[in-house]
Structure 1
Amino acid sequence: MIGYYAHHQGAGHLTRMQSIAAVLDEPVWGLSSAPCPPGWEGGWTTLARDDEPWPEHVGDRDVTAHGALHWVPQHHRGLARRAAQLTAWAADEQPRAIVVDVSVEVALLARLSGVPTVVVAMPGRREDPAHRLAYDTADALLAPWPRGAHDLHWPDRWVDKAWFVGGISRFDGRDVPTSASVSAVSSQSPVDPEQPTNTGEEPRTVLLLWGAGGRTTTAADVRAAQDATPGWTWVERSPAVDGTRDLWDELQRADVVVSHAGQNAVAEIAAARRPAVIVAQPRPHAEQESTARRIDDWRIAVGRTDWPEADTWPELLDLAAARGGHGWSRWSDGTGAHQVADHLARLTAVPVAP
């Protein structure tokens, strides 16, 4: 059995867990402070929260253990219960390995319990003492991006044990219509992929995607972008906005997708091969900024580290449409979850000692 810890912040960690579990040939046991997702068929441990309630007497005293860890608040009962649950699970279930997505403290607890750890690596700069400890002690690093995207500053010891599998999406393996790999203006010839084009035809569609991890872009920012692009119809989808039941269909019908730079959202856009403007939202360690920069540098799509000024949106949307969606094949070939399964099978080939 393989364990999989999924952080409760946002929805991407749980979604990635489900994508990987669906292609593994052995059971997966989920661990998270989030509720068990609907339809989950494996074992499940709902972990105590270590961030609420917040007793007044705890305050902000040394939650990082003098900078060595990320989150270990003193005298927090939830943290103690959580640690006890994790170590008891390791002793009782004897997992062959655990994928940690993501928590330095969970990775260390599992490894201290003798469980091989696969730590999901994250974009951005991860050279602080806590990340170094988790990455150094991991048996493998799962990098859900192509090699060269976020690992250029990594030490060799991390690169050598990394699994660069590309983006992992719940939509991997679906057939992409031929039209999805070209931009809305690609039928006009000739087209310079770096020259914005505005055809003046019927309004085109922008699909605006937000995740569950929070954002600083305001409704006023979005309205200003809409007002500045009268040739485009904007459709907004987020956990707080009612949408259709079929995101895949909406992705395919959009002429351009505008999205935050979370790993899960980027992977889904990549799977759909859609033209896109990827706009980073603030996250620790410049996670989303790093993704947006790399996507723009590689000309896969248009990437920006901040929400653009309203008057720049007509040019940005035309540029995204001109770049098209074919470049996403560099980010993901649709086999990321299957590659993880193959790697895990090799990692756990050695029998567990009694």
Structure 2
Amino acid sequence: MIRPFGYFVHHQGRGHAERCAAIAHALPAERPLTLFCARDDIFPALPAHVEIRRIPSLFEPGGDEQGSMDWVPTPQTLHCAPLGWPGIRAAMATISGWFHAADPALMICDVSAEIAQLARICSVPHVKVLQHGNRTDPGHQSAYDGAAGLLAPFHADLAQPEWSTAMRARTCFAGGLGVDTRVPEREVARQRVGVGAEEEMILVLSGGGGGGFAQAPLGVGARAYPSARWITIGAVQRDWHATEPANIEHRGWVDNAADHIAAADLVIASTGNTTCQQILAAARPWLAVPEWRYFDEQHRKADALGAAGVATIRPHLPSSAQDWTGAITEARANHAPARQRAMIEDMPADKAALWLEALADRLWTPASTAPSASSLETPTL
């Protein structure tokens, strides 16, 4: 009997579910896979050997929570562990009960320090998905230190400088994991999004994990470049004081973000993982403006992108026409398309799946016949 893999999927944003689906398709069909998530409607199509078990959200109250226990301090090894929440008990019972019944080979955690530690406490080896951010706190470090391996859905050149050699050696870096990085031809993409072949197009893109960029500074930017056609996709925060010119258009959520990116002459975007991989694959001039996230995730990712020379970074949207001119001029001057494309693996899901299978084999192979460390290096595809 082949032991199953478990997989916890955080339901905020889209990237967690998309890379889970990519790995699910790349894993062998004979490997059972059970997903645990607070939503079952966020996943792309999944193969037949995958089961989804819905669990209550670990951080959204359901109405039956006891709120009078907040005076009890949270230990530093935990992030979100309020007392008196029936939903959290139900989620943990579902997962730990499955651990007991299924005897899994591996639990993949994307992402929760608490779920990762639960797996370790229940004597189940886990893989922790690695994200950017200031994550040196005891909670994250406990999850990382107790993991059998780490999985990074980005290129090794985007690793943070404080990550040790030992930590990187335990990590499978898979740039482009979970993202459709096929790039349509510019002319075809422009036809699809309704932009003329000779028009200058500036795309503003916000991902699905937050509230999006503010309207007012985008209006200032569009006024600074009146000859360009500005198109925004994703969320835009409305400002009552915004005065927008006629050359900016808000399209909201679209199903063809890749077409918009491929059609653009320059992209202004936040630094969520899916957004990053799509822009890097398209190799467009990029003004990267990180949004607020827990643990400064997008800001630390922006630092890594800037250090790798694949994006021009600003901590916030420019606030004047002069600042917009300087930022866009710099983004165009710094453009390094070959370096951007090099951030994307040819077959990242297959690389991750092979690594997971090799890790499971190592974990469950008796010590006397365990493979050597050299045979467990991340596979090259």
Give the corresponding residue for 1:8.
Answer: 11
Give the corresponding residue for 1:32.
Answer: 37
Do the aligned residues in 2 keep the contact of 1:4 with 1:28 (CA within 8 Å)? yes
Q: Which amino acid aligns with 1:28?
A: L
Give the corresponding residue for 2:153.
Answer: 144
Flag the 1:56–1:244 CA change in 2: closer, same or farther, 3 A: closer
Alignment of 1:92-241 (within 5 A): 92-172=101-181, 174=182, 177=185, 203-215=199-211, 217-238=213-234, 241=251
The CA deviation at 1:169 is: 4.1
TM score, norm. by length of structure 1: 0.84
Give the corresponding residue for 2:372.
Answer: none
Flag the 1:268–1:62 CA change in 2: closer, same or farther, 3 A: farther
The CA deviation at 1:166 is: 2.4
Correspondent of 2:343 among 299, 320, 331 = 331
Flag the 1:324–1:154 CA change in 2: closer, same or farther, 3 A: closer
Flag the 1:315–1:133 CA change in 2: closer, same or farther, 3 A: same
* Identity across the alignment (%): 27
Whole-Å separation in 1 of the counterparts to 2:332 and 2:357 = 40
Matched, 1:20 2:23: yes
Q: Which amino acid aligns with 2:88?
A: L
Correspondent of 1:300 among 292, 297, 310 = 310
The CA deviation at 1:74 is: 0.4
Flag the 1:212–1:59 CA change in 2: closer, same or farther, 3 A: farther
Query: Is there any run of 5+ residues in structure 2 with no aligned partner, and where?
Result: 189-196, 237-250, 366-381
The CA deviation at 1:344 is: 0.5
Give the corresponding residue for 2:300.
Answer: 290
Matched, 1:43 2:51: yes
Do the aligned residues in 2 keep the contact of 1:102 with 1:119 (CA within 8 Å)? yes
Whole-Å separation in 2 of the counterparts to 1:66 and 1:314 = 47
Whole-Å separation in 2 of the counterparts to 1:94 and 1:56 = 31
TM score, norm. by length of structure 2: 0.79
Whole-Å separation in 2 of the counterparts to 1:15 and 1:64 = 35
RMSD of the TM alignment (CA)? 2.7
**SS of residue matched to 1:348:** helix
**SS of residue matched to 1:313:** helix
Whole-Å separation in 2 of the counterparts to 1:214 and 1:95 = 34
Matched, 1:341 2:353: yes
The CA deviation at 1:27 is: 4.1
Alignment of 1:66-105 (within 5 A): 66-105=75-114
Do the aligned residues in 2 keep the contact of 1:205 with 1:234 (CA within 8 Å)? yes
Q: Deviations over 1:130-156 (max 9, x none)?
A: 011000000001122232423321244
Do the aligned residues in 1 keep the contact of 2:23 with 2:350 (CA within 8 Å)? yes
Flag the 1:80–1:57 CA change in 2: closer, same or farther, 3 A: closer
Do the aligned residues in 2 keep the contact of 1:301 with 1:325 (CA within 8 Å)? no
Flag the 1:78–1:65 CA change in 2: closer, same or farther, 3 A: same
Whole-Å separation in 1 of the counterparts to 2:344 and 2:177 = 8
Q: Which amino acid aligns with 1:224?
A: V
Do the aligned residues in 2 keep the contact of 1:33 with 1:48 (CA within 8 Å)? yes
Do the aligned residues in 2 keep the contact of 1:64 with 1:72 (CA within 8 Å)? no
Give the corresponding residue for 1:186.
Answer: none
Whole-Å separation in 1 of the counterparts to 2:206 and 2:297 = 16
Whole-Å separation in 1 of the counterparts to 2:85 and 2:254 = 41
Number of corresponding residues: 332
The CA deviation at 1:269 is: 1.4
Whole-Å separation in 1 of the counterparts to 2:71 and 2:167 = 28
Do the aligned residues in 2 keep the contact of 1:279 with 1:304 (CA within 8 Å)? yes
The list of structure 1 runs, each at least 4 consecutive aligned residues, that deviate by more than 6 angstroms after superposition, is none
Flag the 1:12–1:329 CA change in 2: closer, same or farther, 3 A: same
Correspondent of 2:285 among 275, 290, 295 = 275
The CA deviation at 1:87 is: 0.6
Whole-Å separation in 2 of the counterparts to 1:79 and 1:85 = 10
**SS of residue matched to 2:26:** coil
Whole-Å separation in 2 of the counterparts to 1:225 and 1:59 = 48
Do the aligned residues in 2 keep the contact of 1:120 with 1:141 (CA within 8 Å)? yes
Correspondent of 1:52 among 43, 56, 61 = 61
Q: Which amino acid aligns with 1:347?
A: L
Matched, 1:259 2:269: yes
Of 322-331 and 254-263, deviating more is: 322-331
Flag the 1:91–1:171 CA change in 2: closer, same or farther, 3 A: same
The CA deviation at 1:314 is: 3.0
Query: Is there any run of 5+ residues in structure 1 with no aligned partner, and where?
Result: 181-200
Which of structures 1 and 2 has the larger relative contact order (alpha carbons within 8 angstroms, sep 6+)? 1
Q: Deviations over 1:147-202 (max 9, x none)?
A: 24233212444223111222324213x3665999xxxxxxxxxxxxxxxxxxxx96
Do the aligned residues in 2 keep the contact of 1:145 with 1:166 (CA within 8 Å)? yes
